[in-house]
Structure 1
Amino acid sequence: MYDSATLHAVQQQLARATGFDFYETRLAEADVDPTAIDSWEAFRELPFTTGPALEADLEEEPPTGSLYEESAMVTFSPMGEGLAPVFDTREDLEHQASVNADVFERVGIESGDRVVNTFGYQLFGTGYVIHRALEDLGAEVFPLGPGDSEQAADVITEYDVDALIGNPSFALKIGDAGGQVDTFVGAGEPFTSVPGRRAAVKEALDASTATDYFGTRHIMPVAAETDAEDGLHVVDDYAIVEIIDPDTGEVLGEGERGEVVVTHVKKEGLPLIRYRTGDLAELEQRGDAVVMPDGVIGRTDERLKVKGVKVYPESIETVLAAFDGLTGEYRIEVDQNGSTDHLTIVCEGAADEDDLTSELGDRLLITPDTVELVEKLKPGDSIVDNRY
């Protein structure tokens, strides 16, 4: 899926990463020689990096862990029940700025444009990373952060702002307050994976384009749309993506749904190799581009198999969010009649049952046998599996 030039860059990244005790130990335990990674097939022999492994490393060598590199900026990211540090060297910050500037240029932001940035600057530093990229592009940045939607709308109107970057839910509030821009870039929460959400944001902001951006604080960007609004294109000069079966770790083929695994292509501080994100998506090849066509559609934390199909409950939430009459609360019930599974999804609120069933079937890759709408869900578990 990725070319030889990307493989060469990954080989160089492996050489950097194995200078850290964390990777040196893990590769030795897996009996993998990083210098022998001469193909993408060999790359798949590298062990995965997981959140619990990073947490354990922090506990063993507090407060930085063994992946510490003297940095220009230290920010934080949620991990487990606490926060984990993220280290960015000066070279990291410059590379992120350049790569993100290219991403924003592809969505239609130009040098000289005025851009409101509503991501936060403190603690997590996301707003700062975005800000540097916009400066690199030559844009004029308004660092408003995630504050007052009415104030943001007023600034957008008074200064004739061209573009807005931030959470889609906050963008809707800004649009409701009268803010209008030509271009919106949404990140930080499900966006284009929610049916109808892009159209709603575009209408609220009177925007010509509204594009999705996917990244974690550890790796940003991972993938982003272009102004064609045609799915998340993996930003392979910064990161590569694999999709794996979350149970077996097997790398899945094109169009198969599974867990997103990300590897830095170039990173000095906190380099991540085959990092399991827990996010759910699919990949497809379009010419030279590797694309996540439906965006990030849920999490893999909980899953169950129904009629031979893996069902990811959290992906249901992105479907329910598209129906105004639903509260978002739901329960999955799985029963068995003989050898046949029966899938029931109970949703709280009001919606067209046929439309809801169709959308759930498209997202889950299995059509529920029954969709039940109730005014109020009874207290209890959100997943009830009566087969065992």
Structure 2
Amino acid sequence: MERYFQPEIECASREQLKAWQDERLVKQVRHVWDNVPSYRKKMEEKGVTPEDIQSSADLYKLPFTSKADLRDNYPDGLVAVPRSKCVRVHATSGTTGKRVMAFYTQHDIDLWTDCCARAITAVGGSEEDVCQIAYGYGMFTGGIGLDQGSRRVGCLTVPISSGNTDRQIQFIRDLGTTILCCTPSYAAYLGESMHEMGMTPDQIPLKAGIFGAEAWSEEMRQDIQNTMGIKAYDIYGLTELSGPGVAFECSAQSGMHINEDHFIAEIIDPDTGEVLPEGSKGELVFTSIDKEAFPLLRYRTRDICILKREKCSCGRTLVKMCKPMGRSDDMLIIRGVNVFPSQIETVLLNHGYPANYQIIVGRVKSTDTLDVHVEMTPEMFTDNVGEIERRQKQLVDGLRAMLGLAAKVTLVAPKSIVRSEGKAVRVIDNRKI
């Protein structure tokens, strides 16, 4: 039997959902016009005023917001309420090392909590369940977001955070954990570890998993389900919008329902910005229509996907987005962390290395690996192994400080990285996703 956290919203008529979107969008546009000077300037440059937005049908008239806008207004230039009204901030890394900061009022956190509660309920969660949160806590939104949702549903919540696999498995066994929340690659690793310990699916108390923050394939889903004897569900979110819970998968496991009472989704041509007809493949754009502190209008996610409105067997009427099929920019998601080649290049240049490098991303035992091959100049070339190891460690430390994750760095001889005609091949992604 399908479970809903807020059935009056999740199963509302299309007419009701559109009425909510129309009313909230009009108020939101006025809110940002009155309180965010940079938004007002962008709208004025496009010749748009709040009076031009009478319903969601007028959304296309508004200018886009991009990650560049967030960086340019760092740290709080896009905040639409006084700081005294904000109760929390989360952050993600940016391409130049600046963090993209998202601010929240208590109202915003309450709405986000509801979104995560819907996701947990959709996988069968209730007050009878034990929900183990193995996403990272802190500035990353994953851990805290699903922790809030779990407690709102009434689950016994285990805020274990990421890592320490032996302890994770011990808690799953000792507490009888029924729902696991983490990245899909870590879920796969946990499953392999339990299998190596001799645990069979019927000895694993888990019934469901909510896995997100990185790309994963349908094949990977099936492997996780078979190894653990669970149902594995996808979840989608962005720190810029609120974190996990922007969209969530239901029992149909055929795409993620977007919480349309809080977000309006569009699909655009990533090159022209033109809104594409429903069912088209393009770049996903979101407008948050009831956030107070950090309301983004027409935010370009750079994720490529398709929206689908056909009737869902779960009974929800919320539009579905498919699993993202790639990105319209060069961002990589490695172990749930956003990584840009330009971040790596910045570290290399700061340490005096030329901009000839190669990033090799792989996956070993379901965990992403990041290798960076860096070419030395003839002047810095040496066959002193100790000196090379010292320099490599400097770069490893620099990359960890910039990215927040470990990378393997290999210094290579001058001109040993193959040059290519035209655009350099900076990234080799060997993951099968």
Same fold (TM over 0.5): yes
CA distance in 2 between counterparts of 1:91 and 1:101 reads 15
1:273 corresponds in structure 2 to: 297
Paired position in structure 2 for 1:341: none
The answer to whether residue 49 in structure 2 is matched with residue 27 in structure 1 is: no
Name the structure 2 match of 1:151. 167
Contact 2:25 2:55 (C-alpha < 8 Å) held by counterparts: no
Structure 1 residue 106: Cα displacement: 1.3
Aligned to 1:373: none
Residue of 127, 133, 147 corresponding to 1:117? 133
Q: Which runs of 5+ in 1 are unaligned?
A: 303-319, 330-377
Residue pairs, 1:126-141, within 5 angstroms: 126-141=142-157
Structure 1 residues 290-326: Cα deviation after superposition (integer angstroms, max 9, x where no partner) = 1123x11111116xxxxxxxxxxxxxxxxx98xx9xx
**CA distance 1:138–1:25, shift in 2 (3 Å):** same
Do the aligned partners of 1:224 and 1:233 also contact (CA within 8 Å) in 2? Answer: yes
Are residue 300 (structure 1) and residue 328 (structure 2) matched?
Answer: yes
Query: How far 1:169 moved relative to its partner?
Result: 0.4
> Residue 255 and residue 137 in structure 1: after superposition, are their counterparts in 2 closer, same or farther (change >3 A)?
same
- Alignment map for 1:136-285 (pairs within 5 Å): 136-178=152-194, 180=204, 181-191=206-216, 194-207=217-230, 209-219=231-241, 220=243, 221-285=245-309
Cα distance between partner residues in 2 of 1:381 and 1:266: 48
Alpha-carbon distance, 1:7 to partner: 1.8
RMSD of the TM alignment (CA)? Answer: 2.8
Q: Is the 8 A contact 1:149 1:170 kept in 2?
A: no
Q: Which residue of 2 aligns with 1:52?
A: 68
Q: Which amino acid aligns with 2:236?
A: F
Describe the shift of the 1:53–1:143 C-alpha distance in structure 2 as closer, same or farther (beyond 3 A). same
Distance 1:158 1:271, change over 3 A: same
Which residue identity lines up with residue 215 of structure 2 in the other structure?
P
Count of matched residue pairs: 312
Contact 1:236 1:265 in 2 (8 A): no
Query: Structure 1 or 2: larger helix share?
Result: 2
SS in 2 for 1:102: helix
Change in Cα spacing, 1:78 to 1:42, as seen in structure 2 (3 Å) is same
Tell me the distance in 2 between the aligned counterparts of 1:383 and 1:135.
53
In 2, are the aligned partners of 1:87 and 1:269 still within 8 Å (CA)? Answer: yes
CA gap of 1:169–1:30, structure 2 versus 1, over 3 A, is same
Pair 1:139–1:383, CA change in 2 (3 A): farther
- Letter paired with 1:186: F
SS in 1 for 2:20: helix
Q: Distance in 2 between matches of 1:233 and 1:271?
A: 21
Q: Secondary structure, in 3 states, of the residue corresponding to 1:190?
A: coil
SS state of the match for residue 172, structure 1?
Answer: helix
**What is the letter of the counterpart of residue 291 of structure 2?**
K
Alignment gaps of 5+ in structure 2:
1-13, 312-316, 331-361, 372-416, 425-433
Q: 1:67 aligns with which of 52, 74, 79?
A: 79
| TM superposition score normalised by structure 1 | 0.74
> Aligned partner of 1:289: which letter?
L
**What fraction of aligned residue pairs are identical, expressed as a percent?**
27
1: CA distance between counterparts of 2:370 and 2:170?
A: 31
Say whether residues 1:38 and 2:54 are aligned partners: yes
CA 241–380 in structure 1, closer or farther in 2 if over 3 Å, else same: farther
On the 8 A contact 1:76/1:124 being kept in 2, the answer is: yes
Distance 1:75 1:382 in 2: 41
Query: 1:8: which partner in 2?
Result: 23
Deviation at 1:156, TM superposition (A): 0.2
Structure with more relative contact order (C-alpha pairs < 8 Å, separation 6 or more)? 2
Alignment equivalent of 1:17, drawn from 32, 46, 51: 32
Contact 2:31–2:80 (CA<8 Å) still a contact in 1? Answer: no
C-alpha separation between the residues in 2 aligned to 1:382 and 1:3?
50
2:223 maps to a residue whose letter is A
Say yes or no: does 1:92 pair with 2:115: no
Q: Give the conservation status (yes or no) of the 8 Å contact 1:51–1:80.
A: no
For 2:305 and 2:272, locate their aligned partners in 1 and report how far apart those are by CA, in whole Å: 16
The reply on whether 1:80 has 2:80 as its aligned counterpart is: no
Q: Which amino acid in structure 1 is aligned with residue 320 of structure 2?
A: V
> How far apart are the structure 2 equivalents of 1:262 and 1:81?
24
CA positional deviation for 1:175:
1.2
The alpha-carbon deviation at position 379 of structure 1 amounts to 4.0
Alpha-carbon distance in 2 for matches of 1:106, 1:137: 11
Instruction: Write the letter of the residue equivalent to 1:67.
Output: V
Alpha-carbon distance in structure 2 between the residues aligned to 1:145 and 1:382: 45
TM-score, normalised by the number of residues in structure 2: 0.67
Is contact 1:107–1:227 with CA below 8 Å preserved after alignment? yes
Answer whether contact 1:9 1:265 (CA < 8 A) is retained: yes
* Distance change >3 Å, CA 172–CA 380, structure 1 → 2: farther
In 1, the alpha carbon distance for the partners of 2:422 and 2:149 equals 43
* Alpha-carbon contact 1:255-1:282 (below 8 Å) kept: yes
Residue matched to 2:320? 291
After superposition, the Cα gap between the structure-2 partners of 1:263 and 1:95, relative to the gap in structure 1 and judged at 3 Å, is same
Aligned mates of 1:380, 1:291 — CA distance in 2: 43
| Contact 1:97/1:132 (<8 A) preserved | yes
Question: Cα distance 1:381–1:290, how it changes in 2: closer, same or farther (>3 A)?
Answer: farther
